[in-house]
Structure 1
Amino acid sequence: MSTPQTTTEPLSAMLRRVSNRGHRGGDEGSAEPRYATAYLRGGLNREGIAAQAAQHFLMYEALEAATSTQLEQYGQDFAFAMPELRRLPALRADLAHWIGPEWETVTRTRYATPGITSYVERLTEVAASSLPHFVAHHYTRYLADLSGGLMIVKMFRDSYSIEGDDGVRFYVFDEIPDPRAFKDTYRALLDEFPFSDADRNSIAEEVQLAYDLNNAAGADLEARFEEYQA
């Protein structure tokens, strides 16, 4: 893993560069995964759709537990608490929709694949005890899902003939009426927060790692694509 250089570049710009590379999976020539394509185009069965929601639940469960720990340490004015971003209630509802009342047991047994388990283990290891590492994962998960949410939910509803929010609540940020303005405010917070140069480098390195872990979790879904096809 390359270490970002210390510069006067705004932290938000540094992280955007890292994120752009992470979205490509580090390989510009790689083909788009079949699972991801089918997910948006109506090509998955209920089990396949639930698999993505389950991964999101497991990673957000760890991240939002870390948020609670950071709140205990820094108090209710903790700048990165941002309750309007929290995803667990929506994910519980989505999993109950796609799996049924036994969704939690199924999520923790059937869908806890090696890739997502490694992601959760890393979150549990660093996000509660280190503010820079927490911010790295907070930024990577929430801003990516907020950015893609509006596009994904529209395609998803159209592809699977879904009316309303049942099954897609994860992508609906009811408390954020203007995502673009929210992201601008978030990036300004990153740039203004008094992180040291070492903190900035730690955040950028951890964002790189978060994308690697996310890509590995996605590879688990791709490996089971045949059984997830509609």
Structure 2
Amino acid sequence: MNNLAKELREGTTKSHSMAENVTFVKSFLSGVIDKKAYRKLVANLYFVYSAIEEEMYNNRSNPMINHIFFTELNRKESLEKDLEFYYGPTWKEEIEPSPATNVYIGRIHTIGKNQPELLIAHAYTRYLGDLSGGQILKKIAQNAMNLQGEAGIAFYNFELIEDEQVFKNRYREALNSIPVSEESIKKIVAEANIAFTLNMKIFEELNSSFLKIMTMLSLNAIKNLRDKILRN
């Protein structure tokens, strides 16, 4: 047994904190969500998870990857449901990866072909995060965008996992059962920090969209106030 789960948690604490302080994420957590910016996020995540799940599948027989090859975690199909909700039936023609997303998926495919053990870092960063905060984010999204029922939030629903806390413990045990050297642990932790950075770059792109929207709303409010004053 190794301490990979603990090393990953402790080794990404700073990156995790930085990600939570990106404007888009802070706004999301405070319940301020623009549906257009959010659907762009869903589209970007679709490309990210498609890449992760493709490379995890391609490397499923790898002696390090097979320990954490849990198809019940896959998000691609769930994201497809959300994309149809936000974009309509022609969603495939409507979406494309953002520049930061292209960098992210390029990184995943490169390590999938050349250093597949580093996929562990990307799977850990995305899936453990989804399991840990998913239900909270789901409720925030529902309330902020006035979503009815389960529409538009399939991403947060792990239908094949009965108890998320039990599964997280199982995942951490699987991480610790991977036959990995101390040197490899350091490389995986370093890659997890890269994964956080790549995620932050996507959020920062969405910041500009969010700030444009907030500026436009502010200008409209000022215009309406000015018109009201002039009318009086």
* Superposed CA offset, 1:16-69 (max 9, x none): 01232111228xxxx944422443555444321201101111110100110110
Contact 1:132 1:200 in 2 (8 A): no
* Match of residue 91 from structure 1: 79
- Mark the runs of 5 or more structure 2 residues left unpaired by the alignment: 218-232
- The answer to whether residue 61 in structure 2 is matched with residue 61 in structure 1 is no
Report deviation, 1:228. Answer: 4.8
* Match of residue 223 from structure 1: 208
- In 1, distance between residues paired with 2:26 and 2:5? 29
- The answer to whether residue 143 in structure 2 is matched with residue 143 in structure 1 is no
- Mark the runs of 5 or more structure 1 residues left unpaired by the alignment: 1-7
Aligned in 2, Cα 1:45/1:205: closer, same or farther, shift over 3 Å? closer
Moved more, 217-226 or 85-94: 217-226
Q: Percent identity of the aligned residues? A: 26
Q: How many residues align?
A: 214
TM-score (norm 2): 0.83
Aligned in 2, Cα 1:146/1:228: closer, same or farther, shift over 3 Å? farther
Report deviation, 1:176. Answer: 1.4
SS in 1 for 2:12: helix
Equivalent residue for 2:161, pick from 173, 176, 185: 176
- In 1, distance between residues paired with 2:136 and 2:144? 12
- In 1, distance between residues paired with 2:91 and 2:205? 19
Q: Which has the higher helix share?
A: 2
Contact 1:128 1:134 in 2 (8 A): no
SS in 1 for 2:59: helix
TM-score (norm 1): 0.84
Report deviation, 1:227. Answer: 4.3
* Match of residue 36 from structure 1: 25
* Match of residue 106 from structure 1: 94
Aligned in 2, Cα 1:21/1:9: closer, same or farther, shift over 3 Å? farther
Equivalent residue for 2:179, pick from 157, 174, 194: 194
Aligned in 2, Cα 1:42/1:160: closer, same or farther, shift over 3 Å? farther
Report deviation, 1:155. Answer: 1.7
* Match of residue 17 from structure 2: 24
- In 1, distance between residues paired with 2:133 and 2:30? 15
- In 2, distance between residues paired with 1:226 and 1:21? 25
* Match of residue 123 from structure 1: 108
